[in-house]
A and B are shown apart, each in its own frame.
Chain A
Amino acid sequence: DGGITQSPKYLFRKEGQNVTLSCEQNLNHDAMYWYRQDPGQGLRLIYYSQIVNDFQKGDIAEGYSVSREKKESFPLTVTSAQKNPTAFYLCASRTHPGDSNQPQHFGDGTRLSIL
């Protein structure tokens, strides 16, 4: 089955710690995205990548970092600089980054909390 796999499902972060959220897709999609969702809120874009070895900041990139070394993988690191990291993190992908008619496919998400 093709899809997007996010892990872990739940993650706890200690003060001053960096944590990395995994996102893997086997849909052969070029574009990948990371969103943050706070309770009862919409989706806010953190970072996106249209192609391997390239990525751009979204609306709320501060305190986060990403890499895109492989087409299938787009990990997100929540750094200690992100003072309010508790949220639901969603990874998404889309087949053609330049084609706005394509829908985004989402993973099941990672819930991050501070210890």
Chain B
Amino acid sequence: GQQVMQIPQYQHVQEGEDFTTYCNSSTTLSNIQWYKQRPGGHPVFLIQLVKSGEVKKQKRLTFQFGEAKKNSSLHITATQTTDVGTYFCAGPHAGNMLTFGGGTRLMVKP
């Protein structure tokens, strides 16, 4: 079945450093979604990418969708303590479901 892998599993950064998480799917995706889960909270939808090679920005966050639509990345510039949490990518599966990656947990040292 479809698998979605994320690396790294954990990342510690000093506040102000950049951070990147990578997402790879075993199958071509029609779109990819990114979610953020704060510690103790629930996943919250951040963004969706649909087109091959698409790049979208939200303030300090930059999302990319690979040309082959099998991988994606999330890059945070100059991390802040408010960026702490786990970032998940998710790809559609069988039309009705989402397959989530294992997530990358970001910890930021002030």
Within 8 A of B (CB), among A38-65: 40-43, 45, 48, 50, 58
For the complex, count residues of B whose C-beta is within 8 A of A: 22
Does A84 belong to the interface (CB within 8 Å)? no
Question: Is there contact, CB below 8 Å, between B44 and A48?
Answer: no
Question: Is there contact, CB below 8 Å, between B97 and A48?
Answer: yes
Question: Is there contact, CB below 8 Å, between B97 and A103?
Answer: no
Given A42-B102, A100-B30, A106-B97 contact (CB < 8 Å) = no
Question: Is there contact, CB below 8 Å, between B95 and A90?
Answer: no
For the complex, count residues of A whose C-beta is within 8 A of B: 23
Given contacts A42-B6, A42-B100, A42-B103, list 8 more A-B pairs with CB under 8 A: A43-B88, A58-B97, A100-B31, A101-B30, A103-B45, A103-B48, A106-B43, A109-B42
Question: Could you tell me which B residues sit within 8 Å of A by CB distance?
Answer: 6, 30-31, 33, 41-45, 48, 50, 88, 92, 95-98, 100-103, 105
Question: Could you tell me which A residues sit within 8 Å of B by CB distance?
Answer: 31, 33, 35, 40-43, 45, 48, 50, 58, 90, 97-98, 100-101, 103-109
